[in-house]
Structure 1
């Protein structure tokens, strides 16, 4: 038993090394004073200085963060409403149909989704740029939020809401004082997942981005086509560290939210 546990741990370590080795390799050479990723000459922060001195790149970073925050917030609101609606469908067949429709954007290839949005925005006359990117990010983030919130709703006992109604609570008070506090961990999980998907998305964004507006994923792709610069290593390192901070932040927020919610429900 002990031997199998050690073997399993070694396997996990090996898997993580394989997954993270390219990232650490990229991060290592972001501090290289040379211009290539073949030989490390000496330690330098010049590539990071170049990133922060690039005004256009900083504007693109701001665009990306604004898109991610807006799409994350809006898709979280819509996703919670959608999860509540799915939960209140009692018949199995319509409920399964709604869940299947919800999962279409999750399982569909990004290229097909991006091309579909491009055709749609062109037909209805929406100019490609900030609005088109925001709408497309909201569209593929809402199903993710529904998937994250719905299990918490299914986990909650209906007797909690029934007890609140028996005590004279209105529908709004049941929602705001009982349901939402209970599913807060799922809501935060959905928001951070939507935020991460928006920050990372390339394929869909590539189709719906117009002239004069870009996001980091599209910009990195465009620059990489003209040759690998170590400033891309520095930028990618900063993005990786930002993502790690988001995950750590979600972990601590989820812990702080789960404890009061559990205590409130137990009362």
Structure 2
């Protein structure tokens, strides 16, 4: 048993090294004064100053954040409705069909999804830009929210709803005062997942962006194609730190909700 745990720990350590070593390598050389990724000659913040002094890049950052927040809020609302629809479906075959349709976007390659959206927007006359990127991000974020919320609904005992109805609660009251408070952790999990997916997405966004509109992932790709630049490293480092901050906020927030639910009336249940 001890040997199995030791090997499991070694395996996890190797996985984390493979995943994070390139990121830390990139972050380290974002402070390189020489401007190369071969020899570190001295510490400097010039590359970060270059990022913050780039007005076009600042606009792109703002656009990226706006798209991420809007798509996350809208997809969270739609995803909650979708999860409730799947949960309330009584026929098993219909429920499985809805889940299969929901999971199509999760398992389909991003290139196919992006190309499909590009064809769709071209056919219906939507100009490529802010609107097309926002719609695409909402579309691929909704299934993520559904998968985050649905397990919380399945954990909820039907007796909660029955008890609320026996006490005279209307459907609206049951939804607002019983169901939504219970699935709140799943809702926030879906929101933060949608937010990180939107900030990180490149493949789908690359197909549907245009008219001078861009996001950080597409901009980093465009700059990286022009050659190695420490400003790209600095920008990538900032994105990684922002994503890490979002994960930590969600972690502490979810722990706070868990601790709050473990108490009732000032005492532990």
TM-score greater than 0.5 by the shorter chain: yes
Counterparts of 1:142 and 1:78 in 2: how far apart (Å)?
6
Give the deviation of 1:259 after TM superposition.
Answer: 3.2
CA contact (8 A) 1:64 1:215 kept: yes
Counterparts of 1:223 and 1:93 in 2: how far apart (Å)?
49
Helix, strand or coil at the partner of 2:228: coil
Counterparts of 1:72 and 1:127 in 2: how far apart (Å)?
22
Give the deviation of 1:18 after TM superposition.
Answer: 1.1
Give the deviation of 1:212 after TM superposition.
Answer: 1.3
Query: Residues 64 and 264 of structure 1: is their aligned pair in 2 closer, same or farther, counting only changes over 3 Å?
Result: farther
Matched residue, 1:220? 220
Matched residue, 1:119? 119
Matched residue, 2:155? 155
Unaligned runs of 5+ in 1: none
Give the deviation of 1:10 after TM superposition.
Answer: 1.7
Matched residue, 2:83? 83
Q: How many residues align?
A: 267
Matched residue, 2:199? 199
CA contact (8 A) 1:72 1:194 kept: yes
TM-score under structure 1 length normalisation = 0.97
Matched residue, 1:240? 240
Helix, strand or coil at the partner of 2:5: helix
Counterparts of 1:221 and 1:126 in 2: how far apart (Å)?
25
Counterparts of 2:45 and 2:39 in 1: how far apart (Å)?
17
Give the deviation of 1:258 after TM superposition.
Answer: 2.8
Counterparts of 1:257 and 1:126 in 2: how far apart (Å)?
41
Give the deviation of 1:105 after TM superposition.
Answer: 0.7
Structure-to-structure mapping, 1:245-256, within 5 angstroms:
245-256=245-256
Counterparts of 2:28 and 2:227 in 1: how far apart (Å)?
19
Give the deviation of 1:141 after TM superposition.
Answer: 0.3
Query: Residues 155 and 128 of structure 1: is their aligned pair in 2 closer, same or farther, counting only changes over 3 Å?
Result: same
Give the deviation of 1:2 after TM superposition.
Answer: 1.9
Counterparts of 2:76 and 2:141 in 1: how far apart (Å)?
8
Give the deviation of 1:264 after TM superposition.
Answer: 6.0
CA contact (8 A) 1:165 1:174 kept: yes
Q: Does 1:28 align with 2:25?
A: no
Give the deviation of 1:173 after TM superposition.
Answer: 1.0
TM-score under structure 2 length normalisation = 0.96
Give the deviation of 1:140 after TM superposition.
Answer: 0.4
| Coordinate RMSD, CA, aligned | 1.4
Counterparts of 2:118 and 2:4 in 1: how far apart (Å)?
51
